Amino acid sequence: MSEASRDQFWRRAGEFSPVPVVHYNTGWSHYVFGAADYRRILELVPNLATVKWTTRDIAHVSELRNTVPQLAVYVSEEIFAPAMALGAAGCCSAVVNMNPAFMLEWYHWCRRGSWSKAFERQRRLAVLSGSAGTDRGGRPSSRGR
């Protein structure tokens, strides 16, 4: 999809959405939106409110928070604690379906600034999930490029 096509899509979305817009920015799509894209999209869709950021690239989360701070950024568990330290709003979690108390406790640690607990949980979850740079089989991971 060309930049002109993306802009046309966003312009139309802004015209027809009476409610705040959430964009699910998947790292495995053909185009991953960056901070400059969101700055431009906000001109077309002033009611864009939230971005679900699915890549593991914490530098992009930082850039997004600095460039368009009015957007609420939600991430996956794989970068939850560092993203929260940078001002992310929360986590769109798969783990919450299996263990809501685990995720709620982790969220509260982040919100309260209990970073040693939050980052220890991040480390433990990374080892379990393979998000520490390897897949579950111990092979180098290509996810979140």
Chain centre to alpha carbon of residue 135:
20
> Containing domain of residue 58, as a range?
3-75
Position 12 in a domain: yes
Q: For residue 144, what pLDDT is reported? A: 43
Position 95 in a domain: no
Residue scoring higher pLDDT (134 or 110): 110
Position 135 in a domain: no
pTM (2 d.p.): 0.82
Helix, strand, coil share of the chain (percent; to 5): 50, 15, 35
Position 115 in a domain: no
Number of structural domains, the chain? 1
Position 53 in a domain: yes
Residue scoring higher pLDDT (54 or 144): 54
Q: For residue 17, what pLDDT is reported? A: 87
Chain centre to alpha carbon of residue 65:
11
Position 122 in a domain: no
Beta strand extents in the chain (DSSP E only) = 21-25, 48-53, 72-75, 90-91
